[in-house]
Every structure is written in C-alpha cells, then in structure tokens.
C-alpha cells in the first residue's frame, strides 16, 4: 500500500510505501478498547483517601450500656454510622488500578488504530516539518496550508527542539515523538500527520 507525500505547502512531491502489517490490518475494536482502558488505568493516581474507624480521632469508650436503654446497641463514636466517625469501604490512596496486557496485544491495538486512520483517510504524510526557528507562526503557516481536521496529532521520528517548540502553542495540534505514540492520543485527535522518516520508523516495527 502506498500513499502520497506532500511538502509544507501541500504540493505532491512523491509517495511512500506503508507496511500492510502496520497500516493495513483489520481493525480489532475490542483490543483497542482494552488497550485504551489499560493506558488510562495505568496513568491513574489514587488521590482520594478516607479514614477507617481505627484511624479517626476519638475515644473508644462505649457510648452507653448494651441493654436496658431501649435504644439500639452502639459502640464508640468512631463507628461509620456516627457523624465524624470512620468511613466504611471508602476510597484509599493505596489502591492499585494497574492492568496487564501482553506486548503483542498492545502492538496489535496500536496497528489497528493506525490502520483505521489510513482507511478513513485521516493519515497525512509530509516530507518534513523542519523549521528554521522555533516560532509558532512558522508552524502555524504550515498547518494552515495542510488539509488537516479540527485537531491534529504529529509524530516525529526523533527529538527536534525547534520543531517541537514551534508547535507547543498551537491550540489544536499536539506533537510527540513516534516512540511515545499511544492509543489515547490517536483516538483523541482527528488527523495523524507523519513526516516521511516517521513512516519508515513505523514500517520497521512489523518488519
């Protein structure tokens, strides 16, 4: 499978081959969903925390005698049914939300989303995105010329400080390195923009 390559002014300058094992596989929606849940869960921080009845301050004295009062039996004021008492089965900051998924499944899920982008014509390949200076207006001019959607994800093959800094302030554009390409970003952003060297890097993942 081949796709056209354009320059920064949206002029066709050639074509590049897309590896069918990366950009042409059948989309497995179930696997993609699992990979997304894995990423979101593993990035989750357990911040909410409640105290049990053994952790709150207060006396452990029994409030009143067990029998003869006509009232329901009661223990200390640390009880969860008392105002200011402990919390039963509340959130704890030591909870582990991490999920597991094997490497081949994660890779297959990534390839599924890349294939979906290629199939839906949401994949745009450019010769390069290099800029002379790290200025937002230079990168903004490039994206103004490209037929991208409302939001764009750009994956560059290697770290390029001037290119990355020039895209930082673009509202609907996110630029990351290809090694950090992930399911959540691919699903969040409408158009995937890849420089030609990034396509070669992704092709090699399933060589």
Q: How high is the pLDDT of residue 113? A: 97
Question: Which residue, among 148, 127, 125, has the nearest Cα to 7 in the 3D structure?
Answer: 127
pLDDT in tens, 53-69: 999 999 999 999 999 99
Residue 91 buriedness (CB in 10 A; 0-12 / 13-18 / 19+): exposed
Domain that includes residue 139, residue range: 2-28+102-206
Based on the fold, state whether residues 49 and 24 are members of the same structural domain.
no
Tens of pLDDT, residue by residue over 153-195, are 999 999 989 899 999 999 999 999 999 999 999 999 999 999 9
The pLDDT of residue 133: 85
Q: How many CB atoms lie within 10 A of CB 156?
A: 22
Give the pLDDT confidence score for residue 203 in this predicted structure: 93
Return the SS3 of 152. strand
Sign of CA dihedral 27, 33, 35, 36: positive
Please tell me whether residues 155 and 64 are part of one structural domain: no
Same domain, 182 and 83: no
pLDDT tens sequence across 69-115: 999 999 999 999 999 999 999 999 999 999 999 999 999 999 999 99
Q: Is pLDDT of 134 > 90?
A: no
Mean pLDDT of all residues in 118-139: 91
- Residue where a domain stops, chosen among 37, 62, 96: 96
pLDDT at 207: 63
Non-local (6+) Cβ contacts of 46 within 8 A are 91, 92, 93, 94, 95, 96, 97
In this structure, the answer to whether residues 201 and 137 fall within a common structural domain is yes
Give the chain's domain count: 2
Q: Specify the pLDDT at position 114.
A: 97
Distance (Å, whole) CA 18 – CA 23:
6
Q: For 3-26, write each residue's pLDDT tens digit.
A: 999 998 889 999 999 999 999 999
Quick one: 142 and 67 in the same domain? no
Same domain, 19 and 51: no
Query: Is 107 in the same domain as 176?
Result: yes
What is the model's pLDDT at position 167?
A: 93
Q: Give the mean pLDDT of the chain.
A: 93
Retrieve residue 169's tokens.
Answer: 């302030």
Report the alpha-carbon distance of residue 67 to residue 207 in Å, rounded.
78
Q: Are residues 7 and 64 in the same domain?
A: no
* pLDDT at residue 1 is higher than 90: no
């Amino acid at each position: 499978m081949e796709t056209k390559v354009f320059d920064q002014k949206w002029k066709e300058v050639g074509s590049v081959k897309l590896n069918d094992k990366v950009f042409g596989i059948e989309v497995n929606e179930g696997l993609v969903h699992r990979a997304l849940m894995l990423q979101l869960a593993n990035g989750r921080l357990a911040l909410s925390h409640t105290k049990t009845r053994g952790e709150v301050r207060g006396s452990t004295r029994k409030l009143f005698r067990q029998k003869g009062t006509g009232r329901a039996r009661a223990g200390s004021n640390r009880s969860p049914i008392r105002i200011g008492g402990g919390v039963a089965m509340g959130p704890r900051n030591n909870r582990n939300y991490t999920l597991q998924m094997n490497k081949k499944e994660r890779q297959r899920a990534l390839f599924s989303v890349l294939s979906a982008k290629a199939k839906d014509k949401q994949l745009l390949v450019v010769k390069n995105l290099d800029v002379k200076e790290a200025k937002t207006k230079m990168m903004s001019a490039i994206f103004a010329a490209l037929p991208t959607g409302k939001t764009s994800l750009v994956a560059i093959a290697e770290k390029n400080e001037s290119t990355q800094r020039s895209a930082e302030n673009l509202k609907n554009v996110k630029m990351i390195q290809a090694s950090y390409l992930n399911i959540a970003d691919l699903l969040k952003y409408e158009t995937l923009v890849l420089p030609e060297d990034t396509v070669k890097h992704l092709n090699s993942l399933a060589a």
